[in-house]
């Protein structure tokens, strides 16, 4: 067995692989987020390195590749802050340190599964953060900058796709939306915006909305206020470079939040857009189940959460036509998430 550590930074992923004795088994490599499918095949040993699959360790601040890796059958472990030394304000600990954790510290790390999702085992921190955030959320709501859905008395909904752009699935989603002539909003992550600017341009050119979904999809309770601020700002900068505008809405990864991080949004910045309809598409229970979950829960004003990136999204793509047809049959109009909440489209 080989042991891989995946680090993230401003320009993609760094990968180190060690053997059972802790010696470097392969040269260090660097991968842009556009090459995650290739990286996955490399880690499974299907492509380029023939030494069998790697057990992978990554940080809780890296929530973009675990779903892809577990779907490919890889053993994946999440390292939480108490397993790690000091982390930089922007980036993770070095890949070699994570590879060493994969080799020697797997019993202490959280094993991730495709069904369990990236925050497995962190329920207490998740709910504690949400509970403590209530006063800040009240302030943001008061300022009109926090919402789960739009007005219930207008026949409008917003379809949203998180964790892209993805080198494969985003284009498939765009093709289906175009076929029905409806718009959606894409909550993109900075790592992918930087690696796939053409896909972001394609989204904008087709008339869809954009949202900020952080740089590396971290579990927010594990970030300092400064680390959160950098996740937000670097992603805004990547959008600005790709399409010349900065989204006016932000969605926290997993819906996780803390008062310390949300306070960064209080004086200015994007509005916080959660959702009231969760498709659970990431759990991959079949396209029919995804469709019925969405159609059973959507009502006027709904903000519907789906995913075009961050994992195997074939079922989301397969479910989409029936979802759109079901919503159109109810005469619901598709609008951007910021429009649904009565916000301007750009900061
Ligand atoms: Zn997400």
Residue 301 near residue 150, CB atoms below 8 Å = yes
Instruction: Write out the H or E segment, with its range, that includes residue 233.
Output: helix 225-243
Q: Are residues 178 and 108 in the same domain?
A: no
- Quick one: what percent of the chain has pLDDT higher than 70? 99
DSSP for 210-231 reads EEE--SS---GGGS-HHHHHHH
Claim to verify: residue 189 and residue 59 sit in the same structural domain: no
Residue 53 is predicted with a pLDDT of 87
Convert the pLDDT of each residue in 255-277 to its tens digit: 999 999 999 998 888 999 999 99
Say how many CA atoms lie within 13 Å of 247 toward its Cβ: 34
DSSP state of 270: P
Question: Half-sphere exposure (CA, 13 Å, Cβ side) for 249?
Answer: 30
- What sign results for the dihedral spanned by CA atoms 197, 198, 200, 204? positive
Number of domains in the chain: 2
Task: Report yes or no on 317 lying in a domain.
Answer: yes
Are 257 and 130 within 8 A, CB to CB?
Answer: yes
pTM over 0.85: yes
Rounded average pLDDT over 56-84: 95
Centre of ligand 1 from the C-alpha of residue 52, in Å: 30
Question: What is the C-alpha separation between 331 and 175, in angstroms, rounded?
Answer: 21
Does 343 score more than 90 pLDDT? no
* C-alpha 219 to ligand 1 mean position (Å): 10
Q: Please give the pLDDT value at position 51.
A: 80
142 and 61 inside one domain = no
**Which of these is catalytic: 162, 163, 166, 281?**
162
In a domain, 117, yes or no: no
Q: Is the pLDDT at 296 greater than 90, yes or no?
A: yes
Of 65, 93, 112, the residue at which a domain comes to its end is 112
Q: How far apart are CA 191 and CA 10, in angstroms?
A: 7
* Residue that is last in its domain, among 86, 112, 138: 112
CATH number at residue 135: 3.20.20.370
Structural domain range at position 195: 123-340
Outline where DSSP puts E strands in the chain.
2-9, 12-18, 24-31, 54-59, 75-79, 110-112, 146-147, 156-162, 185-188, 209-212, 249-250, 271-273, 277-278, 303-307, 333-334
Neighbouring CB atoms inside 10 A of 240's CB total: 15
Answer yes or no: is 253 within a domain: yes
Q: What is the average per-residue pLDDT within 225-242?
A: 97
Indicate if 183 and 213 belong to the same structural domain: yes
- Give the confidence band of 117 by pLDDT, cuts at 50, 70, 90: confident
Active-site annotation holder among 49, 149, 217, 307: 307
State the residue for tokens 């070699």. Answer: 96
47 and 22 within one domain:
yes
If asked whether residues 86 and 221 sit together in one domain, one would say: no
Kindly give the distance from the C-alpha atom of residue 25 to the centroid of ligand 1, in angstroms, as a whole number: 33
How many Å apart are CA 263 and CA 281, to the nearest integer? 30
118 lies in some domain: no
Overall average pLDDT of the 243-261 stretch: 96
Q: What is the pLDDT averaged over residues 320-340?
A: 97
Output DSSP code: residue 254: G
pLDDT of the residue at 48: 75
> Residues 223, 308: one domain?
yes
**224 and 274 housed in the same domain:** yes
Any domain includes 135: yes
Long-range contacts, stretch 13-19, CB < 8 angstroms, 24+ apart: 13/39, 13/65, 14/94, 14/95, 15/39, 15/43, 15/95, 16/94, 16/95, 16/96, 16/98, 16/99, 17/49, 17/54, 17/99, 18/96, 18/99, 18/100, 18/102, 18/103
What is the distance between the alpha carbons of residues 274 and 255, in angstroms, rounded to a whole number? 7
Three-state DSSP class for residue 42: helix
What confidence tens digit (pLDDT) does each residue in 127-152 have? Answer: 999 999 999 999 999 999 999 999 99
Looking at 52, 85, 112, which one is the last position of a domain?
A: 112
Do 182 and 260 lie in a common domain?
A: yes
Which pLDDT score is estimated for 49? 75
Q: 273: which residues sit within 8 A by CB, 6+ positions away?
A: 147, 160, 187, 211, 249, 250, 251, 303, 337, 338, 341
Instruction: Please tell me whether residues 127 and 228 are part of one structural domain.
Output: yes
Distance 305 CA to ligand 1 centre (A): 9
Largest CA distance in the chain: 64
CA distance 332 to 347: 27
Question: How far is C-alpha 83 from the geometric centre of its chain's CA atoms?
Answer: 23
Instruction: Please tell me whether residues 102 and 205 are part of one structural domain.
Output: no
For residue 19, the CA-to-ligand 1 centroid distance in Å is: 32
Q: Comparing C-alpha atoms, which of 96, 58, 102 is closest to residue 217?
A: 58
> How many angstroms separate the alpha carbon of residue 16 from the centre of ligand 1?
25
Per-residue pLDDT at 302: 98
Whether 347 is covered by a domain: the verdict is no
Q: How far is the CA of 118 from the centre of ligand 1 (A)?
A: 10
Instruction: Name the percent of the chain lying above pLDDT 90.
Output: 89
pLDDT digits (tens, 9 = 90+) for 83-96: 998 999 999 999 99
The three-class DSSP label of residue 263 is helix
Same domain, 182 and 317: yes
Indicate whether 260 belongs to any domain.
Answer: yes
> What's the confidence (pLDDT) of residue 273?
96
Active-site residue, 307 included: yes
Comparison of pLDDT for 108 and 115, the residue scoring more: 108
Q: Is 162 a catalytic residue?
A: yes
Residue with tokens 């802050």: 81
Over residues 161-217, the pLDDT tens digits come to 999 999 999 999 999 999 999 999 999 999 999 999 999 999 999 999 999 999 999
């Amino acid at each position: 067995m080989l042991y891989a550590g995946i680090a993230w930074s401003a320009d993609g992923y760094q990968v180190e692989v060690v053997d059972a004795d802790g010696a470097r088994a392969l040269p260090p490599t660097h991968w842009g987020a556009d090459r995650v499918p290739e990286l996955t095949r490399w880690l499974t040993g299907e492509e380029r390195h023939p030494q069998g699959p790697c057990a992978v360790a990554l940080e809780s601040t890296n929530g973009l590749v675990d779903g892809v890796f577990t779907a490919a059958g890889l053993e994946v472990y999440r390292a939480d802050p108490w397993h790690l030394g000091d982390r930089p304000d922007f980036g993770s600990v070095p890949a070699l340190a994570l590879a060493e954790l994969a080799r020697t510290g797997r019993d202490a790390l959280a094993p991730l599964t495709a069904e369990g999702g990236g925050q497995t085992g962190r329920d207490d921190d998740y709910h504690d953060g949400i509970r403590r955030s209530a006063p800040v959320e009240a302030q943001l709501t008061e300022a009109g900058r926090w919402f789960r859905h739009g007005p219930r008395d207008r026949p409008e909904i917003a379809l949203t796709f998180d964790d892209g752009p993805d080198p494969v699935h985003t284009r498939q989603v765009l093709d289906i939306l175009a076929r029905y002539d409806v718009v959606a909003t894409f909550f993109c992550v900075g790592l992918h915006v930087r690696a796939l600017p053409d896909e972001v341009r394609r989204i904008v050119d087709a008339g869809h909305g954009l949202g900020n979904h952080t740089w590396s999809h971290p579990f927010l309770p594990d970030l300092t206020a400064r680390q959160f601020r950098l996740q937000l700002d670097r992603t805004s900068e990547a959008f600005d470079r790709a399409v010349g505008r900065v989204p006016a809405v932000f969605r926290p990864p997993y819906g996780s939040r803390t008062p310390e991080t949300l306070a960064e949004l209080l004086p200015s910045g994007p509005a916080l857009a959660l959702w009231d309809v969760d498709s659970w598409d990431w759990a991959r229970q079949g396209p029919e189940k995804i469709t019925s979950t969405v159609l059973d829960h959507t009502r006027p004003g709904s903000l519907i959460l789906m995913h075009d990136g961050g994992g195997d999204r074939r079922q989301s793509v397969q479910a989409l036509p029936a979802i759109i047809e079901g919503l159109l049959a109810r005469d619901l109009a598709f609008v951007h998430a910021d429009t649904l909440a009565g916000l301007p489209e750009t900061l």
